[in-house]
Amino acid sequence: KIDLIVRGVCRLIPGVEGMSENIRVHSVIGRSLEHSRIYYFNRRGEHKYFIGSADWMHRNLDARVEAITPIENEKLKKYLQFMLNIYFNDNKQRWLLQSDGSYERAKKEKGSSKLSAHDYLMKHMNEGNEPIPRAE
């Protein structure tokens, strides 16, 4: 299963049997252009986290100096997972790319309150929470 959070244009066609039926493309569009570049992989319970300075596009990887680095500190991994959970649970500004190229707004689950990832994370920072847990 592959879940992508894509800020802008995505040429990948999700949900095509035999090719991409296990891929979902989420797009969270808010008032802030800036977004996290978190890469999370879980293979048979082995969790790997990376952060990077650029989107994985030819122009960024071929013509610029960019960096992607692994995260090994457990506190930082937990914080990155916290951020990913917020984005995947956004039910105000998250859209899902359909196999026909259209986008459908993510549905709010019964009993859950509305959640905007951008608003939540800005509030989280403004309340004095540390943006990144201190490494030991």
Average pLDDT score over the chain? 86
CA 89 to CA 119: how far, in whole Å? 13
Domain ranges of the chain: 2-126
Is the confidence at residue 47, as pLDDT, over 80? yes
**What is the per-residue pLDDT for 22?**
95
> Considering only 43-47, 61-65, 105-109, 123-127, which range has the smallest mean pLDDT?
61-65
Per-residue model confidence as pLDDT tens digits over 66-112: 788 999 999 899 989 998 999 999 999 999 999 999 999 998 888 88
Q: In terms of pTM, does the model score above 0.85?
A: no
Per-residue model confidence as pLDDT tens digits over 8-17: 778 899 999 9
Is the confidence at residue 133, as pLDDT, over 60? no
Q: 2-126: which CATH number, 3.40.50.1100, 3.30.870.10, 2.40.50.140, 1.10.287.3510?
A: 3.30.870.10
Q: Which residue from 112, 129, 44, 121 is spatially nearest to 85, judged by alpha carbons?
A: 121
